[in-house]
Amino acid sequence: MQETTLPRLLVQHARQRPQDPALREKEYGIWQTWSWQRALEDVRHMALGLDALGFEAGENLAILGDNRPQLYLMFIAVQVLRGVPVPMYQDAITEEVGFVLRDANVRFAFAEDQEQMDKFLELRELSGDEGVPGLDNLFYNDPRGLRNYQQPGLRSVEALMELGRERAASMPDRFDQLVAAGQPDDVAIISYTSGTTSRPKGVCQTHAAFVASAKGAIEVDKLNASDEVLSYLPPAWMGDFFFSVAQWLVAGFTINCPESAETVSIDMGEIGPTFYFAPPRIFEGMLTAVSIRMEDASRFKQWLYARFMALAARVGADILDGKPTSLKDRMAYALGNILVYGPLKNALGLSRIRVAYTAGAAIGPDLFRFFRSIGVNLKQLYGQTETCAYVCLQRDGEVDLTTVGRPAPGIELKISDTGEILVKGVSVLKEYYKRPKDTAEALDEHGYFHTGDAGIIDSNGQLRIIDRAKDVGQLLSGAMFAPNYVENKLKFFPQIKEAVCFGHGRDEVCAFINIEFDAVGNWAERQSLPYAGYVDLAGKPEVLEMIKGCVEQVNADLATEEGMHEVQIRRFLVLHKELDPDDDELTRTRKVRRGFVAEKYKVLIDALYDGRTEQFIETAVKFEDGRTGKVSATLKILEAKVFPPVRSTA
């Protein structure tokens, strides 16, 4: 299988089970199905249409849009021609799109709809270093709003496929010849990094890397053609390509595309996926939704929920793992499954889940424990864009809340003298696009990729992630400080959406906090507390006291952990705005750009450490329509109670 390519796998499925479902899309409330044969025919005609327009081997084609069958099929059509798809985040602003188009020398591009196509058209008209004048061939999937566009080189996907049909009629063997010419070492995709610390870099990954990685993951979790997957994460993210394209083509399961981002939870309930992946923020959102619903529930339902969740916290994970538990606990848990856990999983769309994974950022142990306690087989994996999102996997029966599992099949792992995680094996990138110096820095002479993450391998051979190596530091006392560890504890609370902790080279830890607007707003309404928007709500004294209670609960927890009592949060403030990718405070994958945030909000950090009780700040913001503005507030700075270390009596 490692000698094949992704297009050849599509051909294989179409020949072996032509009428089985390959993809589904919900459109106008109805699920539309692509059989494997229909998927292959669409790819055939897209590829031949591109071929007729002069698309050449080694050329790059930009893809911008949400999860749609035609988008995924365009990936493969480009690969048939030995070209390279370059997906971009659908919420990227025009400037970010332009950077990728110029860096990847793109002249062919696919957009889902008018909103995304307008970005391409605007860039094509710009002159100088900001423009992309060579963007000659543009294709769109959704014609709404585009029917009257008359710009040169603009075609619908249907028009492109019609060109392909004409070419197939005149050159009937052309498609098969193109598929046969593909090589496993060809670059299958260029995925741009999130740019946490610098300009994004194009990561080149091969067909062989994806096929081998997908095969290894499928063997671990016993995935097969009967599985159902909901594909809703950004197609520009390497993990989505791994799950929704590579594993789809190796295992042959069905991928389902939701109607819209707003209907994902409804569509999940209808599909009932058996294999599911989500970053921690999605699971955090699920828990927040549950918390909000329970706050509005009757007292009896609140009592019932609290009683059975206490039982689940005690024995649920053991029952899931098949560990011995008493007959009394098993019977009580079975009743809880009827009354609480089953309905809860059904409401979240998780009732048929056989395997669920989370990755992309560290997940708080409490959040992880919650889902496993109600019977969701949630596991962690570890990987990066440069490793096809495939380095470590947790096997069934070996799930540890504090680790990300053992190395996946085909992967070698070691820890450098400085504590950095080094990876070698089937999933490692071929190169950074047009960046030989960066490639040489990332891949050492022994073929190990330097991840930039700090970690340790425990006595069971499982990897424990500490933090990004550059983010791990020390307090003045010498105590190790990994900010992400503390932040994840804060984000377990449904009232807290984001947190950024500071302490490197300082004598104490301080924090910025973003409230979760929906959860806190729901709480405020039940308290008959009026508010006029995010800024007003975030500054309410009652809200600040509630958040203070969350911070102090985290401090109490840290006091019980060995070596962690010194990293308790002494002072904090609630930010007047949400951290936002459009304001460069987060990456498109929602990771905090720490350096940028520290520089942008230096006046607030100074206020935290200078002992002030409040600080005025005015911040520039960008709106979705491209306009800019400013938001200002006087932020209160609060002291949090800290606790003495709790000595273990074990």
Higher pLDDT, residue 627 or 647: 627
CATH for 473-639 is 3.30.300.30
Query: What stretch of H or E contains 411?
Result: strand 411-415
Q: What are phi and psi of 152, to 5 degrees?
A: -65, 140
Q: Kindly report, residue by residue over 297-309, the tens digit of the pLDDT.
A: 899 999 999 999 9
Residue 295 pLDDT: 84
The string over 32-55, giving b where at least 16 C-beta atoms fall within 10 Å of a residue's C-beta and e elsewhere, is: eebbbbbbbbbbbbbbbbbbbbeb
Checking if the pLDDT of 649 tops 60, the result is no
pLDDT tens digits for 509-563? 999 999 999 889 999 998 999 999 999 999 999 999 999 999 999 999 999 887 7
Res 650: pLDDT? 43
Fold of 6-274: Rossmann fold (3.40.50)
Confidence band for 123, pLDDT divided at 50, 70 and 90: very high
List, for residues 330-352, the tens digit of each pLDDT value.
Answer: 999 999 999 999 999 999 999 99
The values of phi and psi at residue 58, to 5°, are 85, -5
Nearest to 598 by CA among 532, 522, 531, 501: 501
Q: What value does the mean pLDDT take over residues 396-418? A: 91
- The domain spans of the chain are 6-274, 277-351+353-382, 473-639
pLDDT above 50 for 282: yes
DSSP string, 617-644: EEEEEE-TTS-EEEEEEEEEEEE-----
Backbone angles phi, psi at 39, to 5 degrees: -60, -45
pLDDT digits (tens, 9 = 90+) for 165-199: 999 999 999 999 999 999 999 999 999 987 655 67
Better-scored residue on pLDDT, 285 or 552:
552
User: Among all chains, which residue has been given the structure tokens 């990685």?
Assistant: 213
Chain centre distance of CA 420 = 23
What pLDDT, on a 0 to 100 scale, did the predictor assign at position 508? 95
Q: Which of 123, 122, 166, 160 is nearest to 143 (CA)?
A: 160
pLDDT band for 405, please (50, 70, 90 cuts).
Answer: very high
Tens of pLDDT, residues 62-110: 999 999 999 999 999 999 999 999 999 998 889 889 999 999 999 999 9
Distance between CA 371 and CA 360 in Å, rounded?
18
Backbone angles phi, psi at 260, to 5 degrees: -160, 170
pLDDT tens-digit readout, 188-241: 999 998 765 567 899 999 999 999 999 999 999 999 999 999 999 999 999 999
pLDDT category, 624, cuts 50, 70, 90? low
pLDDT band at 362 (very low <50, low <70, confident <90, very high): low
* DSSP per-residue codes, 83-106: -EEEEE-TT--HHHHHHHHHHTT-
- pLDDT at residue 156 greater than cutoff 90: yes
